[in-house]
Amino acid sequence: MLGAVTAPAHPTDPLPRRIAHLDMDAFFASVELLRYPQLKGLPVVIGGGRRREDDVLARLREAYPERDWSDGDLSRIPLEFFPRLSGYTGRGVITTATYPARQFGVGSAMGLMKAAKLCPQAILLPVDFDEVRRISRLFKSTILEIAPVMEDRGVDEVYIDFTHVPGGQREGGRVLARLIQKSIFQATGITCSIGVAPNKLIAKMASEFNKPNGISIVWPDDLQEKIWPLPCRKVNGVGPKADEKLQGYGIHTIGELAARDPGWLIETFGKSYGAWLHAVSWGRDDRPVVTESEPVSMSRETTFERDLHAVRDRAELGAVFTRLCEQVADDLQRKGYAGKTIGIKLRYDNFQSVTRDVTIDHFTADAATIRRQAGLCLKRVDLTRRIRLLGVRVGKLVKPGTEGEQASGYSESHSTRTARDKASDEHTDLLFPELD
């Protein structure tokens, strides 16, 4: 049986807890298929960079200069004008892929060069983050009109508390899930998959049972049949390293994990994580659906098309580094946050990653301050090796004007900074830091 859960919001109400996890189907790719409906049913891969000018339209204008190609003509672009993965030699990573592409083993976070070997005929399109964000807001607002208790888990997924929503108990939540699916498709033209279960842990696993455009219902008595046969990696929170360790002890499925003595799990994996492994293997999860949460940090990073060197590619790295700092500052200002822990992330050409950070004595959302402090962090890492990825992060966030910010001291904003900072900026190298 699934483990005990917290009492519902209304203590006198005997309704069993029903939690849904909703995941948009191949979201980034689905957004592009709205633009290019002629690509439906074909292997399509999204990744490799941001959309600027539409490359396909540019090629059409070059090939047919006598015609004024516009956004209204996108659905009539011939397939041969779309770029293919075949021969791709860059350093990009897949954001997502359509289900026909996934049949070839292509998937999210895979390098595009590897994907090109598995499915060279796949069409490659860039990411349109502005449109993705717009449709993300649209599908979430559609949900909130039906079910008001929703937890935002990213651009393409949410948790929803069905317990007290009309239709949330009928057929275990299937009736309400159908309504939400239909409403989202009417609003966006994109499908989603929904899992409904007694808690968030099981609901997230269930949302992948019947993709795409599926609904999966898990009841308290379904643990042994539907959950225990799954690999341990299907548990949100069991990463590659933990899974490798579990397999080293002969534990491959959630059922095999549930069969282990909790004392042994605690002794082997530590008090907290071992106890958690035992609880989740028995389907226990009392986490509430959180309607509002504050971000812990904000970051920006980029993977280079070729490995860069801090000396030979100093100007290029410096420009990218400054842009990342400006983007993080813009994110902070746009969302109304400031932070005091500033850090960097590097991944070298051998895929080894390093991070460094510093905590300053005031909160900031200022690009120059972030750039200066992140630059000091760079001086604490090995810059003699070639760099594959570079990232900038700001943590320990507050909203200016809150009690926490006032207690800790907020000495600057993005528009007004101290004379000390301004004077320091005059001596700040705006390119990549010199090697000491």
- Distance between CA atoms of residues 44 and 84, nearest Å: 9
The average pLDDT across 317-346 equals 93
Of 22-31, 328-337, 356-365, 396-405, the poorest mean pLDDT is in: 396-405
Output the pLDDT for position 90: 74
**Average pLDDT across the chain, whole number:** 85
Rounded CA-CA distance 149/160 in Å is 6
Tokens standing for residue 134? 């717009």
- Which class in CATH covers the domain with range 297-425? alpha beta
SS3 354: strand
Return the SS3 of 105: coil
pLDDT score of 59 more than 60: yes
Among this protein's residues, is 256 annotated catalytic? Answer: no
Stretch 374-395: mean pLDDT: 92
Least confident of 107-116, 146-155, 234-243, 415-424: 415-424
| Binding site feature residues for Mg(2+) | 23, 156
Q: What is the pLDDT of residue 92?
A: 79
Output the six-digit token pair for 429.
């190298």
Query: CA 374 to CA 31: how far, in whole Å?
Result: 35
Residue 314 pLDDT: 87
Is the per-residue pLDDT at 55 higher than 80?
Answer: no
CATH assignment of 228-281? 1.10.150.20
Q: pLDDT tier at 391 (50, 70, 90 boundaries)? A: very high
More confident of the two residues 61 and 354: 354
Mean pLDDT of 361-373: 93
Using the CB atoms, write b or e for 168-205: b if 16+ within 10 Å: bbeebbbebbebbbeebeeebebbbbbbbbbbbbbbbb
- Hey, what CATH class is 19-25+131-220 in? alpha beta
Within its chain, how far is the Cα of 243 from the centroid? 21
Digit-coded pLDDT (tens) for 79-96? 888 888 887 877 778 888
pTM of the model: 0.71
Tens-place pLDDT, residues 99-114 = 999 999 988 888 888 9
Q: Where are the domains of the chain?
A: 19-25+131-220, 27-128, 228-281, 297-425
Residue 154 gets the label, from left (phi > 0), alpha (psi -120 to 50) or beta, of left
**Which spans in 270-355 are helix H?**
271-281, 314-335
- pLDDT grade, residue 54 (50/70/90)? low
Phi, psi dihedrals of residue 299, rounded to the nearest 5°: -150, 160
- Among 32, 151, 157, 405, the one annotated catalytic: 157
Mean pLDDT, rounded, for 139-159:
94
27-128 and 297-425 share one CATH topology?
no
Mean pLDDT of 346-373: 92
Q: For residue 378, how many C-alpha atoms fall within 13 Å in the half-sphere facing its CB? A: 30
**CA 93 to each of CA 45, 102, 119, 219, 388: distance values in angstroms, whole numbers, following the listed order:** 10, 15, 14, 38, 12
pLDDT the model gives residue 71: 67
Predicted local confidence at residue 292, as pLDDT: 74
Q: 13 pLDDT band (50/70/90 cuts)?
A: low
Mean pLDDT to the nearest integer, 282-298: 86
For 27-128, CATH gives 3.40.1170.60
Percent of the chain whose pLDDT exceeds 90: 57
